[in-house]
Every structure is written in structure tokens, then in C-alpha cells.
Structure 1
Amino acid sequence: MPHATLSNLAQTYGPLMCLKLGTQYLVVGSSPAAAIELMKTHDRTFSARYVPKVVPADQEELNYSSIGWNDECSDRWKYLRTLCRSELFSGKALENQSCLREKKIFDMVEHLRAKEGQVVDFGELVFATIFNMLGNVLMSRDVVGLEEKRADGGLKGLVRTIMEVVTVPNISDYYPFFDRFDFQGIDFLESLIENNFTNDRIHQLLLELFTAGADTSISTIEWAMAELVKNQEIMKKVHEELDREFHDDLPKESQLMQLPYLQACIKEALRLHPPGPLLMPHRALETCQVMNYTIPKDAQVLLNVWAIGRDPSVWDEPLNFRPERFLNCDKDFRGNDFELLPFGAGRRICPGVPMAARQLSVVLATLVHCFEWSLPEGKDPQQLDMKERFGITLQKEQPLLLIPKSRRYQ
């Protein structure tokens, strides 16, 4: 695993190290102090994006229609982020979307009640739910069915394949399920059309929003549930907190951010299993001095947030899932606490953090509150396979297969 290998190297060579890969310099930060230098003190210098050669799109096009792969924080990039923040991620926008998320939560619960006692691919289920949440926010309709399966690895395989060609402008050429959508005059799309976006540029931006929004959320929810199933005493505490608040009702999105133990479990999952262990690659706009080292212009810069989350000098018992560490603690994942940076920090922080926080809370809370979960064939939860598989996002190597049993919401 690259993030684990780089973490081991950092233990020998220090929290800021430089590797020479051919003609390219690669700088890796692996501590909160390095993160502060790279993403706060010198945020402007390292705000450029390093775009790998494998990205199959013209940089000029990316600079016009991409948020993630725009190579510098240009006026166009600022405009795109402002548009997404106002139309998708503002407090008002998120409140307006809450009824859409609640409808998809209801659909998920009804689907699971029909599957009670059967083995469920947990990742596929939650992926479809989150994908349809985004589909309704972006295009006012579901994108896939909860039962839908694909030969290339299901929904997760589909979107991870999309992420590998993340900058191909015309998604419908490669994934025909987008063909049936009319992109004219629907919610967020309407604002894009009003701002003179072409179809190809709409496809590019939607592709980015779908892939980043879906894959990161499902990864975190799957890891969180795996940890809860493995640690039944912690699961019991989450049950008790949710039962006190909601009794036999479905969890309400507006109340979830105020539940300390649930939020502690989400933070702990993000600490141990950050969706992007190395974040997206940055690039130095100019030569810069950092921690008494010279970082050359155009060097690629990575921050190993996976290593920071498992650093014993930062966290007690870092390899243990222990949500209590976040109780009576104001550490958060919104880019101000450099010990916990699953979504980055500074100018390039993920703009969708407010939406992600709501998605993670309402989906995980509902699944825990409404169902008991067990492993197939009476397997011991302590033996649950927690191996990682590296990719665009950090996934479980083996699918999380669970059996649901209704406990609430009759």
C-alpha cells in the first residue's frame, strides 16, 4: 500500500521527505506540523494541482470545467467553487435538500426490511442510496435501483471505473445509463445552463460531483459499520444514544449533528480510514522553504493523512477504534484541526464537506438505529477482515456482507 509504505519511510526519514522519481520531485508530509506548513502557512504556494499524465483530458478543458483537477486557483476555479457552494453546499441549500435525502433513506429502510434475514452486500446498498441522494439533488431523479447489479463489480465497480477516467468529458459515451437523462432545466443543472455551460462541461462537472460525492461517503460508511460490527460494545452505545433521541422513529437529519457519540464514531472512522489516504496531489507554484528544507518549483506534494491518523505521538492507542477520544474534544474534520484532515485543508479543501457530514450522519444513524447487523454463518465479529485495498479512495479489500434484522421503525 503506497500510504503505508510512505508512512514507514517517514519513520526513518522524518515527517517531511523528498523522493526523486525520474525527473519529478515528490514531497510527502506525514505529521500535523508538516500539514500546517503545507496547507496553512504556505497554502497559496501549494494550492496548485499536480495533474497526473494518466488523466485523459486536455488541461485547458479541465481548467474551465473542473474543480478538482483545475491546475491553479484561477478566477474560473473560484467561480466554480462559489457556484457549487451556493447551489449545493450552503446551509440553505442543504436544508432544502433534506427532504430528498429523507426519501432515499425511507426507500433504503423499506428495501432492507424486505431483505431481513438475508445476506446483504452492505457496500452496494449504501452506494446505491448515496448515489440516488446525489442524483435527486443534481438531476431530480434516481440514477440506479437498489437491486441493480453489474458484471463489472456492481455499482462500486462502475463508479470506481468512472473515477479512473474522471476527466473524460462525455460520460454518456462510456456509461449509457446517463443517456436517459434530460439535462435541461432541472435543479442544479438549471443554474449551469443559465451560466452558459455546454453539455460536455455539464457532464464533466456532474461526473466529478457524482464520483467524489459517492465514493468517499460509501467508503467511510462501510468502514464505520465494519468497525461497529467488530466492536459490539461501541455499537451498543450508539444504539442507546439513538434510542434516547428517536425511540421508534427514523432519525432526523437536523438532530444528528448534536449527537456526540454518533459524531465521535464518524470522526474515528475518518481518522483510521480516511477516504483519500494521500489526498489529491498538490504542486508547488514556486520554490519554497518548509521546515528548513527547500521544496523546488513544480514539485508534486502529497499529505499522508492516513499516517497522521495512526501516529502514536498524536493519538493514544492509534490502531484501536475508540470514539471516546473525541468526546469532550473539539477536534473536527473541517480543515482547522491538522491532526484530522480526511477532506484536506486550505484553499483546496473539499467543498462538499458540509454535504458529506450530513450524508454520513443520516445514513449511518438510520442503519444502526433501525437494524441489528450480524455476519453470515455465525462468524465471530472479531474475525472480520479489515484489510485495505488502495485506490482513488481507501476501500475494504473484501465486501462487507451482513444480515439485517429489524429493531426499530415498525
Structure 2
Amino acid sequence: MADFEGYLVIFLLGVISAVFVKVLLKSNPAKCLIPPTPFALPIIGHLHLLGPKPHQVFHKLSVRYGPVFRLFLGSVPCVIFTSSESAKELFKTSDSAFLNRPHNSCMDYISYGGNSIIFAPYGSYWKFLKKTVMSELLNARTLDSLLPVRRDELNRFITFLSRKAKDGKPVELQAELMNMTNNVISRMLIGKRCTTEGDDGGVIRRIVTDIGEVMGIFNLSDHIWFFKNLDVQGVKKRSKEIRARFDSLIEKIIKEHEEVRKEIKKKGEVLKDLLDILLDISENEGMEIKLTREHVKAFILDIMGAGTHSSAITTEWALAELINHPKIMKKAVEEIDQVVGKNRLLQEADIPNLPYLQAIVKESLRLHPAAPVIQRQSIVDCTVGGYKIPAKTTIFFNVWSLGRDPTYWESPLEFRPERFAEKQMDVKGQNFQLLPFGSGRRMCPGTSLALMVIHVTLGSMIQCFEWKAGWDGNQTSVDMEEGTGITIPRANPLVCIPAARIDPVFLCM
């Protein structure tokens, strides 16, 4: 009985203390500088508030609690930001305080202990890898040398669509766009297509799909302390299986490249893929940091996982918007006909001369950013938006919400590419009202490549074909419901019947 009374006293003191602190914080918020927070439950914190589309949940909470608020996802403290002002502080003014990614045990394992450019902690290795990526792998010279690969895959895609148009058959565009972008990235990386060149290609595609699925799982072991050593959702088991498959495949491909490289040294230079460049760097004893075999594998996994989805998803959303806005579609086609004509296929070199097509892509990225939420982790204690952010706090910046903020965008839910004739801004991280690829030192390094693929694919699709929505081609519009995942795919894949405007097979010859 005495023990019960003691526990009761402790419980009552705890309740009184909590109420007192809450009242105190409300009465004098300026002194505490702690972001507002919804009511939290014991152990799980605010996990009960999250749904399958966290960016939408964060947006609704920001309407109630303001552009900066705090959540506890289990035992993990998090702060959510949604405004352009906070974006500038996070990714420019205080960028050095937010250069780490939150810990993710699943991806730490799959990416060889976080040795990839996406997940590696900020430090000398990450800086070396970022410098290598920008100066050797994704620079203009390398991308130009691999232009024939991208052009060939585009021609294959347009030829496939022309066969469907000739037969009057519907196309499920999500799957076909994913095939094309997978093939582009895979051929640029390792010289193999994902769909038709033997068993390796099929395995690559399945691995990329599986990585996307496992990354989209909210792993309780990373957020609730007493699940830390348990694999209650099977995420750890699945991660080990994915890495084992990838490691077996990529080891085989690397060995094949090493054999070919021996012959190259005897015969002279040939067109290199990105894996060849990585192997050159790993064999260079003069490099400031030794690039190990695991580093090479982690980087290849990065590009395959991150580079294939965003381009396909953005192109599909953009075409869906054009189908729902036929006047905008007509204007885009007229621009392409005027600049490119009808006697050749649109090329990457044409993109700078197609400002309306560029505006359509920007408007689609504003409403449908492929990565709706940017994640960071604070390295040191700092202050953002007037609020104190302790070290090791997980930061979520809601890019999706930013694109719908009426403070910056007139009629934000309308699809209006013309707004970018009035607002001269790019999407490369310097305009803090539009950040589809992130910003700061950890923004997406593949932005230029992604934009090349998106513009030329979308432009060629509307240059060569008219698009009739639905399996029977009789839909006058398509739904715009979002799906779930770490990216924002469409809930219902876009299905259309293409009808040829010009002879695309002739243009692809």
C-alpha cells in the first residue's frame, strides 16, 4: 500500500509539473524559443499523426501550428519547416549546421555502412566524394560524352510509342517511363540496359524497385528505443537480402569491366561509362582519399536508386497536367513546331530555346516535387526562425508545402506555367520558393542530368504524339491523386493511347 501511495505521489507531481511547464511556456514563449508542438502520446510521441503521405500531414499541421513546429517520432526529436524564409536559413545562412542526414539503419546497411554520397556523414570523405562527383562523374564533359546513350534510349522509347500508336494500343506510361530512365542511368553507369540485355538488366531493375519500397517503410527500430535491437517489420532482413543480391551482381559487373580495361590499355581509348571513371579514380594512388571497392559499389547504388525514379515520375505528372489543360498543351506543341520543326526529333540542345516547355517542367515540379520532403540532421546547436534547434535534431523541410504557399504563389493550386514568365527563377537551389532538388551543399548532385532527361523526354512525347487518356482513349481528363512513398508517384498510373502527329520512326532514324 505504501509503495502504491509513493507511486501515486510521483505521478501527481509529474502531472502538476507538466501542466505548470506548459502554462509557463504559453505565457512566455519568447524566452523559451521552443517550436510549438501538438499533443504527444507516451512512447510513440506523434507517430499516431503520421499517415502514408507525411508531406500532406506536415502541411495540415503547419496551417494550425505555423511554418515551424516540433514533433517527436517515437523518441526522435524533429522540427518541421515549410517557409521560404526558413529554407534560406537552413540551406544558406546556417547550411553548415545541417549537413548530416538522419540515421537510417536500413539504408546504412544497403549503402555499405553509409559510404554513399547521399548517406555519408559530413566530413573529409563526403567532401572528397562530392568533389569527385561534380568534377569527374557528372560534369558537362562527361555528360556530353554520354549523350549518344541518352539519345539512343530516347529513340527506342519513341519508336516503341509509335508502334503502340500504329496499333491503337494503350500505354501504361509510369512503367514505360521507368523502363526508359532505368535504361538511361544503367547504360551511363555500367554499360548495360535494364530491360533487354540478359539477366543482369532484369536484376538491376528489380533491385532498384525493391530499394524504393524498403526506403518507404517507416522503420520502428529507428524511432522507438525498445525496438532498437528488434526487426519487428522485417526491414533489416529485407535490407540484407537486397544488398546481397546487389553485391553479387555488381561484383560480377566490376570484374567484367576490369577484364575489358586490360584490353583497353593495349588497344587505346574507347567511350567510358561512369563505372570506368570510378575505377580509374580508385586505381589512382595520388588521390587524397583512397576510393575502395565498397565506395564504388555504394556510389553506383546511389545513382541507380535516386536517378531513375525522379525523372520518370516528373515526366508522368507533367504529361497528366498537359492532358488536363489542352490549351497549355497546344501552346507547348506550337513552340516546339516553331523552334524544332517537324523534320527532326527534339534534342537536348534545343531545350534552351524552348522557354515555355521549361516553364511547364518548373510548374510541374512546383506542384509535384519528386522528393516532397528534404531530411537533414543538425550537427550543432543553432537557431532557425527564432527557435532553438538542439544538435542531433532531425529536420524535415516540406518542399511540397512550399510550392502551395499563397504567400509566394498566386492561385497556388492552379497549373499555370505562365507564372514563370513573370517569375524568372530556376530550380537549382538558389530560389527558396522552389526547391524540388533541395539546396545547399547536400542538394541533389544529379540535377542537371535529371532536367536534361525530363525536358527532352516530355518535349519529344508531345512533339510526336497526341495523347488520348484512358484504356479506351475516351477520358477527357485524368485524376491527380498522389500515391505513397518517399517520392510522389501517381496513385493511379497514367494510361493513354498515343496518336502520331508526325512520323516518329522517320525522325528517330
Same-fold call, TM cutoff 0.5: yes
- Residues in 1 aligned to 2:248 and 2:462: alpha-carbon distance in whole angstroms: 35
- Residues in 1 aligned to 2:248 and 2:323: alpha-carbon distance in whole angstroms: 37
1:203–1:325 CA distance, 2 compared to 1 (3 A) = same
Is 2:494 the partner of 1:400? yes
- Residues in 1 aligned to 2:442 and 2:315: alpha-carbon distance in whole angstroms: 23
Partner of 2:221: none
Following superposition, the deviation at residue 36 of structure 1 comes to 0.8
Following superposition, the deviation at residue 378 of structure 1 comes to 3.9
- Residues in 2 aligned to 1:95 and 1:320: alpha-carbon distance in whole angstroms: 36
- Residues in 1 aligned to 2:396 and 2:77: alpha-carbon distance in whole angstroms: 11
Asked whether the 8 Å contact 2:101–2:377 carries over to 1, the reply is: yes
Is 2:121 the partner of 1:71? yes
Asked whether the 8 Å contact 1:66–1:205 carries over to 2, the reply is: yes
Residues 10-29 of structure 1 aligned to structure 2 (within 5 Å): 10-29=62-81
Partner of 2:404: 310
Partner of 1:189: 275
Residues 103-114 of structure 1 aligned to structure 2 (within 5 Å): 103-114=152-163
- Residues in 1 aligned to 2:370 and 2:501: alpha-carbon distance in whole angstroms: 30
- Residues in 2 aligned to 1:174 and 1:139: alpha-carbon distance in whole angstroms: 13
Following superposition, the deviation at residue 158 of structure 1 comes to 5.6
Q: TM-score, normalised by structure 2?
A: 0.74
Following superposition, the deviation at residue 102 of structure 1 comes to 0.9
- Residues in 1 aligned to 2:144 and 2:184: alpha-carbon distance in whole angstroms: 14
Following superposition, the deviation at residue 257 of structure 1 comes to 2.6
- Residues in 2 aligned to 1:127 and 1:257: alpha-carbon distance in whole angstroms: 25
Equivalent residue of 2:380, what SS? coil
Equivalent residue of 1:346, what SS? coil
Matched pairs, number:
401
- Residues in 2 aligned to 1:59 and 1:88: alpha-carbon distance in whole angstroms: 19
Residues 264-303 of structure 1 aligned to structure 2 (within 5 Å): 264-279=359-374, 281-303=375-397
Equivalent position amino acid for 2:371 in 1: G
Q: Which has the larger radius of gyration?
A: 2
Partner of 2:8: none
Partner of 2:330: 236
Asked whether the 8 Å contact 1:159–1:215 carries over to 2, the reply is: no
Residues 6-405 of structure 1 aligned to structure 2 (within 5 Å): 6-55=58-107, 57=109, 61-62=113-114, 65-72=115-122, 74-116=123-165, 117-145=168-196, 159-165=208-214, 171=243, 173=245, 181=253, 182-184=256-258, 185=261, 187-196=273-282, 197-248=291-342, 249-279=344-374, 281-375=375-469, 376-382=471-477, 384-405=478-499
Following superposition, the deviation at residue 392 of structure 1 comes to 1.9
Equivalent residue of 2:418, what SS? helix
Equivalent residue of 2:498, what SS? strand
Equivalent residue of 2:419, what SS? helix
Asked whether the 8 Å contact 2:211–2:242 carries over to 1, the reply is: no
Equivalent residue of 1:19, what SS? strand
Where does the alignment leave 5 or more consecutive residues of structure 1 unmatched? none
Residue by residue, what CA displacement relative to the aligned partner does 1:121-174 show, whole Å, maximum 9, x if unpaired?
11111111111111221122322249x9x999x96x763322345786975625
Equivalent position amino acid for 2:86 in 1: A
Partner of 2:231: none
Residue by residue, what CA displacement relative to the aligned partner does 1:175-229 show, whole Å, maximum 9, x if unpaired?
9876874343452212222333454433321111011111111111111111111
Following superposition, the deviation at residue 90 of structure 1 comes to 1.4
Partner of 2:49: none
CA RMSD of aligned residues (A): 2.6
Residue by residue, what CA displacement relative to the aligned partner does 1:331-376 show, whole Å, maximum 9, x if unpaired?
1110000000001000111011111111111111111101111113
1:224–1:131 CA distance, 2 compared to 1 (3 A) = same
Equivalent residue of 1:315, what SS? coil
- Residues in 2 aligned to 1:374 and 1:176: alpha-carbon distance in whole angstroms: 43
- Identity across aligned pairs (percent)? 33
Equivalent position amino acid for 1:386 in 2: M
Asked whether the 8 Å contact 2:69–2:81 carries over to 1, the reply is: yes
1:59–1:265 CA distance, 2 compared to 1 (3 A) = closer
Where does the alignment leave 5 or more consecutive residues of structure 2 unmatched? 1-52, 216-238, 262-271, 283-290
1:315–1:139 CA distance, 2 compared to 1 (3 A) = same
More helix as a share of residues: 2
Following superposition, the deviation at residue 312 of structure 1 comes to 1.2
- Residues in 2 aligned to 1:233 and 1:392: alpha-carbon distance in whole angstroms: 32
Asked whether the 8 Å contact 1:171–1:178 carries over to 2, the reply is: no
